[in-house]
């Protein structure tokens, strides 16, 4: 099965190939950026590989796909009318509601006119003489623009490991991020799911309930917390909407881009065993990420972290009836929360079902794909369908595959060969007038994405407005500002336990990728303040070139 859906190839644009701005991606980031740049009166073209809007929520249609941020907070805040009118059916929205919402945003603000679907950017290069970007596509388009804005998401470049003899498989196979729109018949089939990250955990829980035989190929277990998802309580929604602006403001200054009811004030090691257990139990029952906010030092002190990890391991042991399966599902070799914590709706219970089988591919690695299924060192598993939940080449992958070249033809890939180098996660030396929405070095994947997207888009829009008003041609960070930011990003990450896990945050899931912690741990609120200060000081750390 092809990884990239084959889109109908239309002819290149011929009528108007020069724009003020080209934006890549029509997820929430690209759509909001288009909306804001239109307000400035700019001509904008959005290029989108898919044939619809929604980004992540367009591509990830696998069974069980659902957001981990509360619906009332995982949405765009720029239109209070839309905020009031839109209703979310569940506390944590499934893919179809999020895609429906993305389409609503596009329709409501008439965005489709400026979005070109079915188009992948193949090259983007900066010309120092004209001070313009040229963007080329797989349809043969060549567009020029003063501003080049990437809204490509952090988790959009599929990671498909190089499994030996994959092409020999005679059944169906799909990567979760390219799951067919029309769904796949599971009834009566022998289904294999490879991967137990956030995606795998959701897919396994959903597929396990079907009338099929499910084989879960797990290499590394993940910690997963119950979401306690439920239908939206109309009273809660009504009440929330009366104070929507306050909730949004709380999210904007928070650590993770979502409003938190109560911040912790005490160390996990400063309370008695009984009090700690009661705190964890309460948080577990509340669900979602509450457990992570139980104590002040869960991300900085290994002993404190161990208490939370052990609490979750014991929950797994209590839930999964077969002790051997429970032990395999209980993560032991990295601190909890140092890989993206997963959220589920009955994941561990799934392994009590007679049709669900856990296969340990750490002890017995996958050797090859055969015509009949998956062969591990312990034997062959015959399958009709394989679902690969093997993740993404995160953060840098979506940028690199556009072959971006800046000044002197230096490619972003070359410049970042030892790890991403950005100023504020939004810009990079040598790439004038290029802005990355939720790029590496910004809170992005460590935050509620919609909050971070809006902050970046607003900042970029204000910056472009400033350039126009002050008749400036180019903006580019200085090397000193970039070096200092990279150092700061590393410094704050190294104060936490994050680097202790082989996570995709650190590039560990992609062979050969440099081991560098990519997102900014310093918090959404602090980060916003820093960005605002930079702007208030006349774009401190940037070089501005007159037109
Ligand atoms: P992931 O966290 O990178 O997990 C990939 C899984 O595939 C891991 O279990 C990995 O095992 C396994 N794997 C990779 N190569 C393998 C191989 N050769 N053999 C066996 N197993 C292999 O990817 P993901 O689950 O797609 O999640 C990525 C991120 O997307 C999440 O962390 C989250 O940020 C986001 N996401 C969010 C939501 C949500 O909001 N609800 C849902 C899904 C995803 P190892 O760990 O051993 O490498």
Nearest residue (CA) to ligand 1, atom 16: 390
pLDDT given at position 138:
95
Which pair of tokens denotes residue 485?
A: 């930011």
* Closest atom, ligand 1, to C-alpha of 66: 41
What CATH number is given to the structural domain containing 462?
Answer: 3.50.50.60
Nearest residue (CA) to ligand 1, atom 24: 391
Pocket test for ligand 1, best of 61, 75, 199, 362 (most atoms within 8 A of CB): 199
Integer Cα distance of 304 and 217 in angstroms? 31
* Closest atom, ligand 1, to C-alpha of 161: 18
Nearest residue (CA) to ligand 1, atom 33: 198
The answer to whether residue 355 sits within a structural domain is no
Residue 275: Cβ within 10 Å count = 12
How far, in Å, is the centroid of ligand 1 from the Cα of 339?
Answer: 10
Nearest to 34 by CA among 138, 136, 110, 141: 110
Integer Cα distance of 204 and 192 in angstroms? 9
Q: Is the pLDDT of residue 72 over 80?
A: yes
* Closest atom, ligand 1, to C-alpha of 155: 30
Interval 101-127: pLDDT, tens: 999 999 999 999 999 999 999 999 999
* Closest atom, ligand 1, to C-alpha of 391: 23
Nearest residue (CA) to ligand 1, atom 6: 195
Which pair of tokens denotes residue 342?
A: 């997963």
What are the contacts of 419-423 at 24+ separation with CB within 8 A? 419/507, 419/514, 419/515, 419/516, 419/518, 420/395, 420/396, 420/516, 420/518, 421/482, 421/483, 421/486, 422/477, 422/482, 422/485, 422/486, 423/477, 423/478, 423/481, 423/482, 423/485, 423/541, 423/542
How far, in Å, is the centroid of ligand 1 from the Cα of 342?
Answer: 10
The answer to whether residue 535 sits within a structural domain is yes
What are the contacts of 278-286 at 24+ separation with CB within 8 A? 280/307, 280/308, 280/311, 284/225, 284/226, 284/311, 284/315, 285/228, 286/228
- Residue 143: phi and psi, rounded to 5, are -115, 145
How far, in Å, is the centroid of ligand 1 from the Cα of 459?
Answer: 31
Widest distance between CA atoms in the chain: 71
Nearest residue (CA) to ligand 1, atom 48: 509
pLDDT given at position 231:
98
The answer to whether residue 274 sits within a structural domain is no
Nearest residue (CA) to ligand 1, atom 12: 195
Q: Give how far the C-alpha of residue 442 lies from the chain's centroid of Cα atoms, to the nearest Å.
A: 12
How much is the average pLDDT of 242-259? 96
DSSP class per residue in 233-283: PHHHHHHHHHTHHHHHHHHHTSSSSS--S----S-TTSS-HHHHHHHHHHH
Bridge partner list, 126: 133
What's the pLDDT band for 12 if we cut at 50, 70, 90? low
Nearest residue (CA) to ligand 1, atom 28: 391
Interval 421-475: pLDDT, tens: 999 999 999 999 999 999 999 999 999 999 999 999 999 999 999 999 999 999 9
The answer to whether residue 380 sits within a structural domain is no
The answer to whether residue 401 sits within a structural domain is yes
How far, in Å, is the centroid of ligand 1 from the Cα of 80?
Answer: 35
Which pair of tokens denotes residue 205?
A: 């829980």
Torsion angle in degrees (nearest 10) through CA of 77, 79, 81, 84: -10
DSSP class per residue in 23-40: EE--SHHHHHHHHHHHHT
Query: What number of residues does the chain have?
Result: 547
How much is the average pLDDT of 323-339? 98
The answer to whether residue 55 sits within a structural domain is yes
* Buried residues in 148-187 as b, exposed as e (16+ CB within 10 A): bbbbbbbbbbbbbeebeeeeebebbbbbbbbbeeeebebe
How far, in Å, is the centroid of ligand 1 from the Cα of 323?
Answer: 25
Integer Cα distance of 54 and 322 in angstroms? 40
Which pair of tokens denotes residue 329?
A: 């599902």
Nearest to 280 by CA among 324, 241, 310: 310
How much is the average pLDDT of 140-158? 97
How far, in Å, is the centroid of ligand 1 from the Cα of 87?
Answer: 30
What's the pLDDT band for 263 if we cut at 50, 70, 90? confident
504 lines ligand 1 (CB under 6 A): yes
How much is the average pLDDT of 30-51? 97
Interval 507-542: pLDDT, tens: 999 999 999 999 999 999 999 999 999 999 999 999
Helix (H, G, I), strand (E, B) or coil at 163: coil
Helix (H, G, I), strand (E, B) or coil at 326: helix
Q: Which residue range(s) make up the domain with 406? A: 16-158+393-546
How far, in Å, is the centroid of ligand 1 from the Cα of 221?
Answer: 10
How far, in Å, is the centroid of ligand 1 from the Cα of 482?
Answer: 30
Q: Is the pLDDT of residue 344 over 90?
A: yes
* Closest atom, ligand 1, to C-alpha of 176: 26
Which pair of tokens denotes residue 99?
A: 């895609």
Number of domains in the chain: 1
How far, in Å, is the centroid of ligand 1 from the Cα of 509?
Answer: 9
How far, in Å, is the centroid of ligand 1 from the Cα of 159?
Answer: 9
Pocket test for ligand 1, best of 450, 509, 511 (most atoms within 8 A of CB): 509
How far, in Å, is the centroid of ligand 1 from the Cα of 448?
Answer: 18
H or E element that contains 347? helix 347-350
Q: What percent of the chain has pLDDT over 90?
A: 95
199 lines ligand 1 (CB under 6 A): yes
* Closest atom, ligand 1, to C-alpha of 340: 32
pLDDT given at position 11:
56
Interval 402-425: pLDDT, tens: 999 999 999 999 999 999 999 999
What's the pLDDT band for 13 if we cut at 50, 70, 90? low
Which pair of tokens denotes residue 525?
A: 């609120």
Integer Cα distance of 317 and 108 in angstroms? 49
Interval 208-246: pLDDT, tens: 999 999 999 999 999 999 999 999 999 999 999 999 999
Which pair of tokens denotes residue 367?
A: 């050797």
Interval 358-390: pLDDT, tens: 999 999 999 999 999 999 999 999 999 999 999
What's the pLDDT band for 10 if we cut at 50, 70, 90? low
61 lines ligand 1 (CB under 6 A): no
Integer Cα distance of 267 and 276 in angstroms? 10
Q: Is the pLDDT of residue 14 over 70?
A: no
The answer to whether residue 147 sits within a structural domain is yes
The interaxial angle of helices 244-252 and 524-536, nearest 10 deg, is 80
Pocket test for ligand 1, best of 378, 391, 446 (most atoms within 8 A of CB): 391
What mean pLDDT value characterizes the chain? 96
Sequence-ordered list of residues with C-beta below 8 angstroms from that of 273, at least 6 positions apart, any chain: none
How far, in Å, is the centroid of ligand 1 from the Cα of 199?
Answer: 6
How far, in Å, is the centroid of ligand 1 from the Cα of 197?
Answer: 4
Question: Do 541 and 481 contact (CB within 8 A), yes or no?
Answer: yes
Q: Are strands 373-376 and 379-382 parallel, antiparallel or unpaired?
A: antiparallel
Interval 276-292: pLDDT, tens: 999 999 999 998 889 99
Q: Are strands 373-376 and 366-369 parallel, antiparallel or unpaired?
A: antiparallel
Integer Cα distance of 383 and 191 in angstroms? 6
364 lines ligand 1 (CB under 6 A): no
The answer to whether residue 408 sits within a structural domain is yes
Q: Is the pLDDT of residue 28 over 60?
A: yes
pLDDT given at position 16:
64
Query: Model-level pTM?
Result: 0.96
445 lines ligand 1 (CB under 6 A): yes
């Amino acid at each position: 099965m092809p990884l990239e859906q084959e889109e109908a190839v239309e002819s290149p644009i011929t009528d108007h190939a020069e724009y003020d701005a080209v934006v890549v991606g029509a997820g929430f980031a690209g759509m909001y950026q288009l909306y804001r740049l239109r307000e400035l009166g700019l001509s904008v073209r959005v290029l989108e590989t898919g044939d619809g809007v929604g980004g992540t929520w367009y591509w990830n249609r696998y069974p069980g796909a659902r957001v981990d941020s509360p619906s009332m907070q995982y949405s765009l805040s720029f239109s209070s009318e839309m905020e009031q009118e839109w209703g979310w059916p569940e506390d944590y929205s499934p893919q179809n509601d999020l895609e429906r919402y993305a389409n609503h945003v596009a329709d409501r603000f008439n965005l489709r006119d400026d979005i070109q679907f079915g188009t992948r950017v193949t090259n983007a290069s900066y010309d120092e003489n004209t001070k313009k970007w040229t963007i080329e596509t797989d349809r043969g388009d060549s567009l020029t623009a003063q501003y080049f804005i990437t809204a490509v998401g952090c988790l959009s470049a599929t990671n498909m490991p190089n499994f030996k003899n994959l092409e020999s498989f005679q059944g169906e196979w799909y990567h979760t991020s390219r799951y067919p729109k029309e769904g796949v018949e599971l009834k009566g089939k022998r289904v294999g799911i490879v991967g137990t990250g956030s995606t795998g955990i959701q897919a396994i829980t959903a597929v396990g309930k079907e009338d099929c035989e499910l084989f879960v190929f797990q290499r590394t277990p993940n910690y997963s917390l119950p979401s306690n998802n439920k239908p939206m309580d109309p009273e809660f929604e009504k009440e929330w909407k009366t104070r929507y602006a306050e909730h949004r403001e709380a999210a904007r200054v928070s650590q993770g881009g979502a409003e938190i009811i109560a911040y912790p004030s005490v160390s996990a090691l400063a309370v008695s065993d009984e009090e700690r257990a009661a705190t964890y139990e309460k948080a577990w029952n509340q669900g979602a990420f509450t457990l992570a906010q139980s104590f002040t030092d869960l991300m900085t002190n290994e002993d404190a972290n161990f208490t939370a990890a052990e609490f979750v391991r014991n929950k797994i042991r209590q839930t999964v009836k077969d002790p051997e399966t429970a032990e395999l599902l209980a993560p032991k070799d990295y601190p909890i929360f140092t890989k993206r914590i997963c959220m589920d709706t009955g994941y561990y219970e799934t392994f009590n079902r007679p049709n669900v089988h856990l296969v340990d591919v750490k002890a017995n690695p996958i050797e090859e794909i055969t015509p009949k299924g998956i062969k591990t060192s312990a034997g062959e598993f015959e399958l009709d369908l394989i679902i690969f939940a093997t993740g993404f080449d995160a953060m840098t992958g979506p940028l690199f595959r556009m072959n971006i070249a800046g000044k002197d033809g230096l490619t972003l890939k070359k410049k970042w060969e030892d790890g991403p180098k950005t100023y504020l996660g939004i810009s990079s030396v040598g790439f004038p007038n290029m802005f990355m929405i939720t790029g590496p070095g910004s809170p992005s994947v460590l935050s509620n994405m919609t909050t971070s997207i809006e902050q970046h888009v607003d900042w970029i829009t204000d910056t472009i407005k400033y350039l126009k008003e002050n008749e400036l041609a180019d903006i580019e960070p200085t090397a000193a500002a970039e070096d200092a930011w990279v150092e700061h990003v590393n410094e704050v990450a190294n104060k936490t336990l994050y680097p202790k896990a082989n996570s995709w945050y650190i590039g560990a899931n992609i062979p050969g990728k440099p081991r560098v912690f990519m997102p900014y741990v310093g918090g959404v609120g602090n980060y916003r303040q820093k960005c605002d200060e930079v702007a208030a000081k006349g774009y401190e750390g940037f070089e501005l070139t007159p037109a």
